[in-house]
Amino acid sequence: MASLNSAINVQVDSKDKEQATNILKDLGLNMSTAINIFIKQIIKCDGLPFEVRNPKPNKELLEALKEGEDILSGKIDAKKYDSVKELIEDLENDV
């Protein structure tokens, strides 16, 4: 193994670090080894070893969101319920 002679200091959320440390421990790794694996993969892939993208909602989701907004604004008339019990009773009566 190559000699390690450079340090990296990063700030991370304490809870994230704790969760990651526990997962790595279950895998038999420590944080330093995991970071070194990550760096080797960056070199091997000539970039990040996973896809990084800004997800965009698909057409179906956009239509559903618009419909929800239209219901809330009153543009679309929809049944309303005061309780889950009332909803369930209505569903059972439709059968």
Question: Does the CA dihedral 55-60-66-70 come out positive or negative?
Answer: negative
| 88 located within any domain | yes
Question: Does the CA dihedral 82-86-88-94 come out positive or negative?
Answer: negative
| Amino acid 94: pLDDT | 81
Residues 48 and 12 in one domain: yes
| Amino acid 2: pLDDT | 67
Query: What is the residue range of 76's domain?
Result: 59-94
The rounded distance, in Å, linking the Cα atoms of 88 and 46 is: 55
Residues 63 and 87 in one domain: yes
- Those residues whose C-beta lies under 8 Å from the C-beta of residue 38, and which sit 6 or more positions away, are 49
| Amino acid 55: pLDDT | 86
The pLDDT tens digits of the residues spanning 43-83 come to 999 999 999 888 889 999 999 999 999 999 999 999 889 99
Residues 48 and 76 in one domain: no
The mean of the pLDDT values for the chain is: 93
Q: Is 35 within 8 Å of 8 (Cβ atoms)? A: yes
| Amino acid 4: pLDDT | 73
| 87 located within any domain | yes
Q: Is 23 within 8 Å of 34 (Cβ atoms)? A: no
